[in-house]
Chains A and B, each alone.
Chain A
Amino acid sequence: MQYQTITRSAVAAAATVLGAAAAVAEDKPALDKAAIDKAFESLKTFDWGVDNNKFRALLGPIEDALPATHGDAAARKELETKLAAVLSTGASRAAKDYVGRKLAIIGTAESVSALAALLPDKDLSHMARYALERIPAPEAAKALRDSLAKTSGTQKAGVIGSLGVRRAAESIADLAALVGDSDESIAVAAATALGDIGSVESAKALQDAKPASDPVKLRVADAQLTAGECLLTAGDKAGALAVYKSLIASPEKSVRLAATRGLLLASGKKE
C-alpha cells in the first residue's frame, strides 16, 4: 500500500531539498497501515472528553502519519481522502474539528469542496477556514470568495478575514463593497482584508470606502496604513506616498502622525 512506500530514500530526498547545511539524520519508521485504519475507525465516534493519553491512543497513528508521509504524494493523497470523507458524515463536531486541523497541513484542491460546504455552518465554519485559509491551491481562495454570498454575520466576517490573510487580490471588488456594511464585524473584516492585500487597487478601494461608524473609520484608516506599508515593502514608493498623503488630514491625531511617519519613510528617511 502507499502508506508503506515511505522509505529512507524518500526521507533522504526530502532532506536533500534543504541542502547540505541542514542535512541531518532523520530516521522515519514505515507507516503502520492497520493502526491508521483503526484510528480512522476511532474518528467515527471520537468526541470531546479525552485526555492527551487517550487522544494519542485513539488518533496517534494519524498524527504520526502526517510527518511520515512528507514527500510521498500518493500516501498523502490517501490520507487526505480519508480525512476529507469524514466531513460529510455524521461524525461529531470534535471529529470534524480534528479533520480541519489536519487538512490545514496536508489539504489540497481535492478537499476544498468538502470544506467549503461547511463554511455557512455556524459550528463548523471556523474549522473549515482553518484548513481553507492555509491550503495554497487557488481553489481554496475561490471557495472562500464564493461563500461570501452564502454566509452572513460572524461567519461572513471570518471568511473575509481568511481572504485577507490569503491576500486574495481577486476579491478586492467584493471586499470594497463590504466596508460599508451595516454589520460592524463585516465592515471591519473587509477593511482589514483590503489592507492585508496591500496593493494600489486595494488601497484605492479603502480610500473610496464610506465606513458607517467611527470605529470602522479608524479601522479603515489603519488598513490604509497597512496597505501603505505593504506598498513600501514592495518598493512602490509612489503608491505608498499616495496612501499616506490621503491620510495626512485625518481627523484622528494618531492616524495623522502615522501618515507623517509613512511619508518620511516613503521619502527615504530611516527611523
Chain B
Amino acid sequence: MKQRANRRDFLKAAVATAAACPYLIPGSALGAGDRPAPSARIVMGGIGIGNQGSGDQGAFLGRGDVQYVAVCDVNTQHRNAARDRANGRYHNNDCKTYNDFRELLARTDIDAVHIATPDHWHALVVIDACRHGKDVYCQKPETKTLREGPLMVAAARRYSRVVSGGSQRVLEDYRRQVNPCWSGELGPIKSINVSFGPLAQSCYLGSEAIPQGMDWDMWLGPAPWAPFHPYRCSGSYNINGTCWRSFSDYSGGGLTDWGAHHFGGAIFAIDCREFEPEVVEYHNEKGREYVGFRYPNGIFLYHNHPGMKHLQIVGTPGEKRAPKPVPSYKGNGGIHGDFIECVKTREKPFRDIELATHSISVAHLGAIAYQLKRSLKWDGVKNEFPGDEEANRLVDRARREPWTL
C-alpha cells in the first residue's frame, strides 16, 4: 500500500509507452480479474516460516488482496522453501529471503508481517514490527511471560498498528459453548472448566551437530544459551519432550500452546476476554492438582477440575440473562481474512493483541501457581501479584544479551 502513487504511475506509464509489447504486463497487475491492483494490495512478509508459519503463509498467499514479497527464517531450508512457494504463486522471483528479521522489518515497502517464530521470540519481533510501522498477525501463544503482554499492547497502540493474535479455534471451535452463554440460555454463568496439558518442562538435552543452514544462535535469541539438539527446535506439535513447544525456555508447554485455544475459547464463552483473573486458586487433592481462576465478576474458570468435564459450563438456567450478539470476524477468509480486513479499515481484529494477551496471561498465571504450588492474587491492571515478592519474580525472565524488549 505504501509508495502507492509511484508504483501505479509506473505501471500505467509502462503500459502507455510499451504498447508494442502489451503482453509483458498481465492484466492482473493493473487490477483486472479478481485481484486488486498492486497499489491496493497489502504488501506482506513472513517471519518464522517453519511448520505453523508455512500454514499462515499459505493463507495469505491465497488472497488476491495480498502481495507476498519477503520471508525470514533462521533455517535456510525453511526460508528457501517459503520463498519458492511465494515465487511459485506469482510466477516470478521477487520474494526476498532474510536470516535476520530486523532486515525485513527495515523495508519500507512492507505493510504487514505474519510471525510464527517459537514463542520466546514473539514479543521482541511484534514490538519491533510496530516500531517499524508494520501491522502484525502473530501466532498464538502470543506471549512467553506476563510482562510481555502489556508491552506488546503498548507498542501496538503507540504506533496505531493492527496487531492480531493467531488462534483460529477461539471463534471456530467453541460455538457449542459460546452460543448458549451469549444467547442467555444458560443464565448468568458461574463457572467453566477446561482440561488439557501438559506443563512445560526443563530441557537439558545434549549437544548434537548444528545442521548446515541453521543459525542456532539466532534461533535461541533471547532464550538462555543451550547446545543444539533437534528436539529443542523441532516445530512438531507433540508436546512430549520432542519439540520446542515442550520446553519452558521457548514455550509454556501445553498450558499455553493449547491454552491459547481452550482458555481463549472458554473466556470467550463466559465473556471475560477484556480482563484478567484476580485470584488463582491452587488445589492439590491427593496429588491431583488443578487451579481455579476467579474473575472480578465472580465467574470461575477451572483448569483440570477433577469434578468437571472439559468445556463443562455451570450456569443458572432458571435466571434471566440478556442476550448479546456474538462478535465475529470481519471480511472474508477466517482469522487471516479478519486481519487483512482490519489492516484496510484500521479496526481492531477479533483477536486484538490486548484480548489475546489477556487469555495467554491466564495460562501464565496457572503455570506460576502450579510451579509455586500455592494460590495467588493477581492485579491485571498493574500486571503484578500484590505483595507477593516471590511470584512477582516470575512475571518475566532476563533475556539473553543483547536482546531487550
Query: Which residues of A are interface residues toward B (Cβ below 8 A)?
Result: 14-15, 17-19, 21-28, 46-52, 55, 66-68, 70, 94, 97-98, 104-106, 123, 125-127, 129-130, 132-136, 154-155, 157-162, 164-165, 185-186, 188-189, 192-193, 218-219, 222, 225-226, 229, 253-254, 257-258, 261-262, 271
Contacts and interface: CB of A to CB of B under 8 A. Distances in A.
A157 B159 CA distance: 25
28 contacts: A15-B375, A19-B377, A25-B285, A26-B284, A49-B206, A52-B203, A52-B241, A67-B372, A67-B373, A68-B373, A70-B372, A98-B204, A105-B390, A105-B393, A106-B390, A126-B401, A129-B398, A133-B397, A134-B398, A157-B404, A161-B404, A164-B404, A186-B402, A192-B404, A193-B404, A225-B158, A229-B154, A229-B158
Nearest to A253: B133
Contacts of B204: 46-50, 55, 94, 98
Contacts of A130: 224, 397-398
Contacts of A104: 393, 397-398
Interface string B183-206: 000000000000000000111111
A162 B225 CA distance: 17
Contacts of B404: 157, 160-161, 164, 188-189, 192-193
Interface of B: 131-133, 147, 154, 157-160, 201-207, 224-227, 241, 279-285, 294, 371-377, 387-390, 392-394, 396-405
A26 B373 contact: yes
A271 B160 CA distance: 11
Contact of A161 (B205, B393, B399): B399
Contacts of B387: 17
Contact of B373 (A18, A28, A189): A28
B224 A67 contact: no
Nearest to B241: A52
B402 A158 contact: yes
Main secondary structure of the interface of A (DSSP, over half): helix
B202 A52 contact: yes
Contact of A22 (B201, B284, B377, B398): B377
Contacts of A226: 154
| Leading 8 A-B pairs by shortest Cβ distance | A158-B401, A49-B206, A185-B402, A161-B404, A157-B402, A67-B373, A133-B398, A22-B375
A94 B229 CA distance: 15
A71 to B, nearest CB: 9
Contact of B374 (A14, A105, A136, A258): A14
Contacts of A257: 159-160
Given A51-B241, A158-B400, A25 B283 contact: yes
B376 A18 contact: yes
A199 to B, nearest CB: 17
A106 B206 CA distance: 27
B193 to A, nearest CB: 16
Contacts of A155: 401
Given A48-B226, A225-B158, A165 B398 contact: yes
Given A157-B401, A185-B402, A26 B393 contact: no
A193 B225 CA distance: 23
B373 A22 contact: no
B269 to A, nearest CB: 24
Contacts of A25: 283-285
**Residue of B154, B241, B396, B400 with most chain A CB atoms under a 10 A cut-off:** B400
A22 B279 contact: yes
Contact of A27 (B203, B284, B388, B389): B284
A133 B376 CA distance: 22
A131 to B, nearest CB: 8
Given A17-B387, A261-B158, A123 B225 contact: yes
A65 to B, nearest CB: 11
Contacts of B133: 253-254
B394 A105 contact: yes
A70 B375 contact: no
Given A49-B204, A52-B202, A161-B404, A24 B397 contact: no
Given A104-B393, A134-B393, A134-B397, A49 B157 contact: no
Contacts of A48: 204-207, 226-227
Contacts of A229: 154, 158
A28 B373 CA distance: 9
A258 B392 CA distance: 31
B377 A67 contact: no
Contacts of B393: 104-105, 134-136
A192 to B, nearest CB: 5
A97 B224 contact: yes
Contacts of A67: 371-374
A49 B207 contact: yes
**Residue of A126, A162, A219 with most chain B CB atoms under a 10 A cut-off:** A126
A154 B401 contact: yes
A107 B290 CA distance: 28
Nearest to A46: B204
Contact of B400 (A46, A126, A225): A126
A133 B241 CA distance: 28
Contacts of B398: 104, 126, 129-130, 132-134, 158, 161-162, 165
Nearest to B223: A126
A262 B387 CA distance: 31
Nearest to A219: B131
Nearest to A271: B157
A61 to B, nearest CB: 14
B402 A126 contact: no
Given A15-B374, A48-B226, 4 more contacts: A49-B205, A132-B398, A219-B131, A254-B159
Contacts of B375: 15, 18, 22-24, 26
A70 B391 CA distance: 11
Contacts of B377: 18-19, 22
A230 B158 CA distance: 12
A254 B158 CA distance: 9
